[in-house]
């Protein structure tokens, strides 16, 4: 697989991590959320939004973290397969050739992304 589950130790706990073939890594469950700031006066010149970062899920043992990362990878593969079949169904039901070509192009994109995740 070109996508491998692993874990990284942080503050005494393990975070699940996905390592891609290109060397890129991503922490599973790590998110950021943007909050809009409502100005109290019309002369407010500060930021219009604030981004808050969330640390993600952590586990006591490395094995649990790696298992979580593997479940995340399996879920992503399943979603890609479902997307491919959904785009192919839309292509079969398309009424115009332009829509059919667009659906087949999207299915091909999903197929390539799936192949990149699952290649040996």
Please give the pLDDT value at position 17.
92
Q: Which of 24, 28, 120 has its CA nearest to residue 76?
A: 28
pTM: 0.74
Could you list the pLDDT tens digit for every one of the 120 residues in the chain? 588 999 999 888 999 999 988 888 888 887 788 888 877 777 777 777 888 877 778 899 999 999 999 999 999 989 999 999 999 998 888 889 999 999 999 999 999 888 888 875
Pairing of strands 13-19, 4-10: antiparallel
């Amino acid at each position: 697989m070109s996508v491998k589950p692993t874990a990284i130790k942080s503050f005494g706990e393990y975070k699940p991590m996905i390592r891609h073939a290109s060397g890129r890594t991503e922490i599973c469950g790590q998110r950021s959320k943007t909050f809009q700031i409502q100005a109290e006066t019309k002369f407010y010149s500060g930021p219009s939004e604030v981004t808050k970062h969330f640390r993600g899920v952590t586990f006591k043992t490395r094995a649990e973290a790696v298992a979580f990362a593997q479940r995340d990878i399996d879920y992503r593969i399943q979603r890609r397969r479902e997307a491919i079949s959904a785009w192919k169904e839309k292509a079969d039901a398309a009424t115009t050739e332009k829509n059919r070509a667009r659906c087949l192009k999207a299915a091909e994109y999903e197929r390539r992304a799936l192949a990149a995740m699952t290649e040996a």
